[in-house]
Amino acid sequence: MDRIPILRMGKTLLVTIQVDMQDQTALTLQDDLANEIAKTGANGVMIDISAMEIVDSFVGRMLSSISGIAGILSATTVVVGMQPAVAITLVELGLSLEGVRTALNVERGIALLDRAREEAQIGS
């Protein structure tokens, strides 16, 4: 079973999903991310799904869960690079991925995380 690696870039954790994941791999990623956020005090998580041709309900729920868990641990999550075919399919499937922030690409994703950090600082 592949384990998705988590890279760290300052206060941001970066995950790139490039394989056709088994369900267990997705669950392990969820665990690993939660642990890593807690361990490093990261306040941003970027999940790059530009290589994913298929996002089904299981992966969709995983993304929502990660977003929720990260939020509780005071980190913002952004999912970047969703392919048009995936977006169209998710809409048809009826999955709205509520609560999951998305950005067109890594660059925009980083900008989004920066803005979220600023807002968090202003608020605190």
Contact residues toward other proteins (CB under 8 A) are 20-24, 53-58, 60-61, 64-65, 68, 79-80, 82-105, 107-109
Residue 118 CB, nearest distance to other proteins (Å)? 15
In the bound state with other proteins, the residue whose beta carbon lies nearer, of 41 and 111, is: 111
Q: Would the CA dihedral through 91, 86, 52, 49 be positive or negative?
A: negative
Nearer to other proteins, 61 or 117 (CB): 61
Least distance between other proteins and beta carbon 103 (Å): 4
Residues 6+ apart with CB under 8 A from 49: 17, 55, 79, 80, 81, 82, 83, 86
Give the residue with the Cβ less far from other proteins, 6 or 100. Answer: 100
Residue 22 Cβ vs other proteins, minimum distance, rounded to whole Å:
4
Tokens (6 digits) for 53? 């041709």
Residue-wise burial string across 31-44, b where 16 or more C-beta atoms lie within 10 A, e elsewhere: ebbbebbeeeebbb
Q: Name which of 37 and 79 has its Cβ closer to other proteins.
A: 79
